[in-house]
């Protein structure tokens, strides 16, 4: 997804349990998360689609 | 340039893992001098040895480029590979399971039980796990002041937890434990089927015999659970469908066998190794008792310390390159998790047991799409056991010599004699 003008850059978060990368620009379409969804806006019930870690298991990498 | 045969033979020698120091010395030398090169131990096809933490992450996170199932995913001698192919009807691996398939098949199989192993889903079984942990803590305290922690507690507690989640009746659990040990410790005369030292070919024949026993057991399980589905993992497996069809016989049996054996053996090994480490370090026990917030650090460092899965194999699906070395399509690659978890570039003083590492970047569960399905359960089981046990212990020390199993695959302490006093 293109970066909206005037908004903070999209960020990437790494799951510390499995290496999955949540890219805000891409979202997590298989889990119903649209491209452009900020990590902070992920629903609390969202889990890492690769290993099942909770949202808190991801760390900001870029 | 290749790895000298002496070092290559250590990498493939089950006995070296039983002694451990030869393995630690060999990999320390390789990480320093020759971090990605080809080994060709006597009797084995040549393979690359990945011993650096970063390289294993690179390989595991490119699961389309480095496959699990195109060649043997375990380090096996040539004759054992031939036998595996014969026993499996021509496939590269004797079992068809999550760790030996790739791509769409892997994704579909993993999806069958994934929802039950997420961190959130497991919160629903935490009370049951704690109840089981308390039973084992009481058992240990009652049989004190000495026990063999490996045999009396660590082999049995994760078994009971996993069997309950799977839906295996308690009376069948000793049978599953025995078959698991025969499967994973097939090179160790103390635990294998024949009770003697065996050649790689004899070990493979024994694995096939264990597989037949497990298939006989789980064949009956499938019939029962298809007739009457239940709320457990085995029922999910029995009734799973991919593209509208039940799993094939080999997928079905491989799945049962994976969760019923790998689901507890690695946690048992780590639990036993953790208490061994504590028995040698009273200051760490005191540290945790004084500050229970250190518990997660203790669990994570125990996992790094034990690294129960020592190796897995991958093969390249295309020509590629790593560390400036050209890997050809089809090349076989050994991933040494044991070495990665002692990589000096990632872990300060890697041969120290340090529960304060933060972050602890251990990769004992692997990484990428094939990361261990049961990692969150394993962590929870260990944390709960230690929460129940450690506050009760006044003192703990070794009462004999612990011993590691002899295997290049799954390794843990087979005996941990300890003496303890209770608060």
Q: What is the tens place of the pLDDT at every residue in B342-360?
A: 999 999 999 999 999 999 9
Inter-chain CB proximity B119 and A54 less than 8 Å? yes
In which band, very low, low, confident or very high, does the pLDDT at A8 lie, cut at 50, 70 and 90? confident
Mean model confidence pLDDT for chain A: 93
Q: Which residues of B touch A45 (CB under 8 A)?
A: 120
Q: Which residues of B touch A54 (CB under 8 A)?
A: 119-120
Tell me what ipTM this predicted complex has.
0.91
Predicted confidence at residue B76, as pLDDT, reads 95
Beta bridge partners of B327: B320
The conformational region for residue B343 under phi > 0 = left, psi -120 to 50 = alpha, else beta, is beta
Give yes or no for a contact between B324 and B392, defined as CB atoms under 8 angstroms apart: no
Give yes or no for a contact between B17 and B406, defined as CB atoms under 8 angstroms apart: yes
Mean model confidence pLDDT for chain B: 95
Predicted confidence at residue B197, as pLDDT, reads 87
Nearest to B367 by CA among A7, A6, A51: A51
Count other C-beta atoms under 10 Å from residue A4's C-beta. 9
Predicted confidence at residue B25, as pLDDT, reads 98
Predicted confidence at residue B144, as pLDDT, reads 87
Work out the minimum CA distance from A10 to partner chain B, whole angstroms. 22
- Say yes or no: B369 contacts chain A, CB-CB below 8 A: yes
Nearest to B276 by CA among B168, B171, B151, B160: B151
Q: Which residues of B touch A47 (CB under 8 A)?
A: 118-120
pLDDT tens for B223-241 read 999 999 999 999 999 999 9
Inter-chain CB proximity A19 and B365 less than 8 Å? no
Q: Which chain A residue has the Cα nearest residue B57?
A: A19
CATH architecture for residues B5-422: Orthogonal Bundle (1.10)
In which band, very low, low, confident or very high, does the pLDDT at B15 lie, cut at 50, 70 and 90? very high
Inter-chain CB proximity A51 and B121 less than 8 Å? no
d(Cα A38, Cα B385) in Å, to the nearest integer? 37
* Cα pseudo-dihedral B28, B30, B32, B35, rounded to 10: -130
The 3-class SS string of B97-152 reads CHHHCCHHHHHHHHHHHHHHHCHHHHHHHHHHHHHHHHHHHHHHHHHCCEEEHHHH
Bridge-based pairing of strands B66-67 and B47-50 is unpaired
State the best of B54, B365, B370, B376 to mutate against chain A, taking most chain A CBs within 10 Å. Answer: B376
Count other C-beta atoms under 10 Å from residue B58's C-beta. 17
Angle in degrees, 0-180, between the axes of helices B263-279 and B375-389, rounded to the nearest 10: 40
Residue among A19, A52, A57 minimizing CB distance to B61: A19
d(Cα A57, Cα A53) in Å, to the nearest integer? 6
Is the pLDDT confidence value at B55 over 80?
A: yes
Our measurement of the distance from residue B110's CA atom to the centroid of its chain's CA atoms, rounded to an integer in Å, reads: 17
Predicted confidence at residue A7, as pLDDT, reads 80
d(Cα B384, Cα B404) in Å, to the nearest integer? 24
pLDDT tens for B112-134 read 999 999 999 999 999 999 999 99
- Say yes or no: B118 contacts chain A, CB-CB below 8 A: yes
Is the pLDDT confidence value at B1 over 80?
A: no
Q: Which residues of B touch A52 (CB under 8 A)?
A: 114, 117-121, 376
Inter-chain CB proximity A50 and B371 less than 8 Å? yes
Inter-chain CB proximity A51 and B368 less than 8 Å? no
Give yes or no for a contact between B360 and B300, defined as CB atoms under 8 angstroms apart: yes
Work out the minimum CA distance from A30 to partner chain B, whole angstroms. 12
d(Cα B152, Cα B167) in Å, to the nearest integer? 22
pLDDT tens for B193-224 read 888 888 888 888 888 888 899 999 999 999 99
What Cα–Cα distance (Å) separates residue B423 from each residue in B141, B285, B390, B394, B395? Answer: 10, 13, 10, 5, 8
Residue among B60, B118, B369 minimizing CB distance to A47: B118
The secondary structure element, H or E, covering residue B50 is strand B47-50
Instruction: Classify B83 as helix, strand or coil.
Output: helix
Work out the minimum CA distance from A6 to partner chain B, whole angstroms. 34
- Say yes or no: B117 contacts chain A, CB-CB below 8 A: yes
Inter-chain CB proximity B120 and A50 less than 8 Å? no
Bridge-based pairing of strands B332-336 and B311-316 is antiparallel
Q: Which residues of B touch A18 (CB under 8 A)?
A: 365, 367-368, 371
Q: Which chain B residue has the Cα nearest residue A48?
A: B118
Predicted confidence at residue B141, as pLDDT, reads 96
Is the pLDDT confidence value at A59 over 80?
A: yes
Residue among A17, A19, A54 minimizing CB distance to B120: A54
Q: Which residues of A touch B60 (CB under 8 A)?
A: 19
Query: Where would I find the beta strands (DSSP E) of B279-385?
Result: 311-316, 320-322, 325-327, 332-336
Is the pLDDT confidence value at A3 over 80?
A: no
Give yes or no for a contact between A51 and A18, defined as CB atoms under 8 angstroms apart: yes
Q: Which stretches of chain A sit within 8 Å of chain B by CB? A: 16-19, 45, 47, 50-54, 57
Predicted confidence at residue B74, as pLDDT, reads 96
pLDDT tens for B357-398 read 999 999 999 999 999 999 999 999 999 999 999 999 999 999
Question: What is the biggest distance separating any 2 CA atoms in chain A, rounded to whole angstroms?
Answer: 34
Read off the pLDDT of each residue in B140-147 and give the average, rounded to a whole number. 95
Q: Which residues of B touch A19 (CB under 8 A)?
A: 57, 60-61, 367-368, 371
The secondary structure element, H or E, covering residue B394 is strand B393-398
Tokens of B151: 């045999």
pLDDT tens for B319-334 read 999 999 999 999 999 9
- Say yes or no: B123 contacts chain A, CB-CB below 8 A: no
Q: Which residues of B touch A53 (CB under 8 A)?
A: 118-119, 376
Q: Which residues contact B215 (CB under 8 A, 6 or more apart)?
A: B253
Read off the pLDDT of each residue in A4-16 and give the average, rounded to a whole number. 89
Q: In chain B, what are the domain boundaries?
A: 5-422
Inter-chain CB proximity B371 and A51 less than 8 Å? yes
Q: Decide: residue B88, CB within 10 A, 0-12 exposed, 13-18 middle, 19+ buried.
A: middle
In which band, very low, low, confident or very high, does the pLDDT at B280 lie, cut at 50, 70 and 90? very high
Read off the pLDDT of each residue in B167-183 and give the average, rounded to a whole number. 88
In which band, very low, low, confident or very high, does the pLDDT at B273 lie, cut at 50, 70 and 90? very high
In which band, very low, low, confident or very high, does the pLDDT at A34 lie, cut at 50, 70 and 90? very high
Work out the minimum CA distance from A52 to partner chain B, whole angstroms. 4
Give yes or no for a contact between A29 and A21, defined as CB atoms under 8 angstroms apart: no
Predicted confidence at residue B191, as pLDDT, reads 80
Percent of chain B's residues with pLDDT above 90: 86
Q: Which residues of B touch A44 (CB under 8 A)?
A: none
Rounded to 5 degrees, φ, ψ at B77 are: -70, 160
Predicted confidence at residue B192, as pLDDT, reads 82
d(Cα B43, Cα B50) in Å, to the nearest integer? 20
């Amino acid at each position: 997804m293109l970066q909206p003008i005037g908004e903070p850059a999209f960020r990437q978060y790494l799951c510390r349990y499995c290496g999955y990368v949540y890219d805000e620009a891409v979202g997590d379409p298989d889990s119903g998360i649209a491209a452009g969804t900020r990590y902070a806006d992920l629903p609390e019930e969202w889990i890492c689609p690769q290993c099942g870690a909770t949202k808190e298991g991801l760390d900001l990498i870029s | 340039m290749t790895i000298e045969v002496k070092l290559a033979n250590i990498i493939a020698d089950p006995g070296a893992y039983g002694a451990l120091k030869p393995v630690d010395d060999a990999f320390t030398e390789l990480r320093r001098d020759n971090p990605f090169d080809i080994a060709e131990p006597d009797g084995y096809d040549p393979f690359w040895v990945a011993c650096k933490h970063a390289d294993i992450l690179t390989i595991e996170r490119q699961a389309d480029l480095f496959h699990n199932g195109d060649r043997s995913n375990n380090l096996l001698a040539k004759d054992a590979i031939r036998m595996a192919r014969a026993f499996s009807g021509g496939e590269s691996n004797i079992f068809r399971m999550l760790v030996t398939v790739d791509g769409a098949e892997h994704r579909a199989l993993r999806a069958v039980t994934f929802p039950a192993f997420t961190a959130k889903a497991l919160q629903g079984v935490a009370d049951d796990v704690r109840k089981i942990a308390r039973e084992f803590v009481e058992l240990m305290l009652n049989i004190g002041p000495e026990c063999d922690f490996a045999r009396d507690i660590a082999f049995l507690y994760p078994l009971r937890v996993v069997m309950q989640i799977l839906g295996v009746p308690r009376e069948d659990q000793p049978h599953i434990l025995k078959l698991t040990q025969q499967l994973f410790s097939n090179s160790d005369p103390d635990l294998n089927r024949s009770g003697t030292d065996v050649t790689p070919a004899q070990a493979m024949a024994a694995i096939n015999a264990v597989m037949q026993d497990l298939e006989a057991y789980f064949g009956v399980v499938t019939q029962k659970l298809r007739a009457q589905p239940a709320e457990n993992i085995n029922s999910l497996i029995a009734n799973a469908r991919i593209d509208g069809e039940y799993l094939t016989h080999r997928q079905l049996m491989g799945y049962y066998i994976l969760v019923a054996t790998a689901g507890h053996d690695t946690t048992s090994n780590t639990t036993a190794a953790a208490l061994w480490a504590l028995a040698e370090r009273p200051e760490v026990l005191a540290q945790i008792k004084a500050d229970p917030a250190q518990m997660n650090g203790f669990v994570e460092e125990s996992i790094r310390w034990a690294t129960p899965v020592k190796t897995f194999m991958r093969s390249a699906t295309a020509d590629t390159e790593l560390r400036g070395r050209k890997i050809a399509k089809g090349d076989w690659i050994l991933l040494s998790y044991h070495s990665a978890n002692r990589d000096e570039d990632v872990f300060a003083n890697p041969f120290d047991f340090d529960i304060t590492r933060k972050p602890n970047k251990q990769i004992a569960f692997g990484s990428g799409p094939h990361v261990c399905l049961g990692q969150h359960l394993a962590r929870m089981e260990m944390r709960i056991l230690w929460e129940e046990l450690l506050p009760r212990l006044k003192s703990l020390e070794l009462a004999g010599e612990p011993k590691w199993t002899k295997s290049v695959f799954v390794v843990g302490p087979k005996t941990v004699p300890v003496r303890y006093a209770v608060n």
